[in-house]
Amino acid sequence: MAEWLWLILPGVAALGSSVISYCLMQSRLETAVAVERQRLAAACATVEGQKRIMDQTIRATEEEARRRALDEFLSELHVEERRYVRERKMMFKSRRSLVLAERMFFRNIPLSSWVEHEMPVQEGADLDGVARRLAIFSPDMASRPDLLPAPRGHKLIAGPA
């Protein structure tokens, strides 16, 4: 029986050391995998942050390009204006009126036909002030809501002038 013990004991020792070796190597492998996962998560977070920054940069660049293109387009628009005073003589009376004709251009291409406005004026009236009030394509149009057309279905209520 002692012989059997000497034959089985080395086998049991080899089996025990292999189990211990397997457990140690498995824990080392899990540690290495955890470290690599941590590095991968950090790299993914960095890439995601850079992607967000890149998206914001691209969006801001596109917005700036659109804004610059619109500014360039608007700088190419201009208005040609003609003014003259028309006198109409009726029997014993003479009526004066200021005629303002405007036309909008893009570079040298007309965008609209001539738009004429006629307003009766008194003798000695400020013709420049009257012409500014009559102008349709004036730059201060946005600051005068009483001249803007009302949206459909809405009534425009004029505020204090």
Q: What is the mean pLDDT of the chain?
A: 82
pLDDT band at 152 (very low <50, low <70, confident <90, very high): very low
Q: Is 26 among the domain residues? A: no
| 3-state secondary structure (DSSP) of residue 40 | helix
Distances (CA, A) of 101 to 59, 108, 112, 114, 132: 43, 17, 11, 6, 12
- Token pair belonging to 114: 């001539």
Residue 40 lies in a domain: no
Q: What is the torsion angle, in degrees rounded to the nearest 10, for the CA atoms of residue 82, residue 115, residue 85 and residue 107?
A: 0
How many domains are contained in the chain? 1
Q: Is 3 helix (H, G, I), strand (E, B) or coil?
A: helix
pTM of the shown model: 0.48
Q: Which domain holds residue 134?
A: 78-141
Task: List, in sequence order, every beta strand (DSSP E) within the chain.
Answer: 77-90, 93-106, 109-110, 115-120
Residue 107 covered by a domain? yes
Question: Does residue 86 lie in a domain region?
Answer: yes
Residue 134 lies in a domain: yes
Residue 145 has pLDDT above 60, yes or no: no
Check residues 90 and 126 and name the one with the higher pLDDT: 90
Assess if residue 129 is contained within a domain.
yes
Q: Region 109-135: what's the mean pLDDT?
A: 77
Decide if 33 is inside a domain.
no
**Measured between alpha carbons, how far is 72 from 69 in angstroms, rounded to an integer?**
5
**For 64-76, what is the mean pLDDT?**
93
Q: Extract the tokens encoding 117.
A: 């406005």
Query: Is 123 part of a structural domain of the chain?
Result: yes
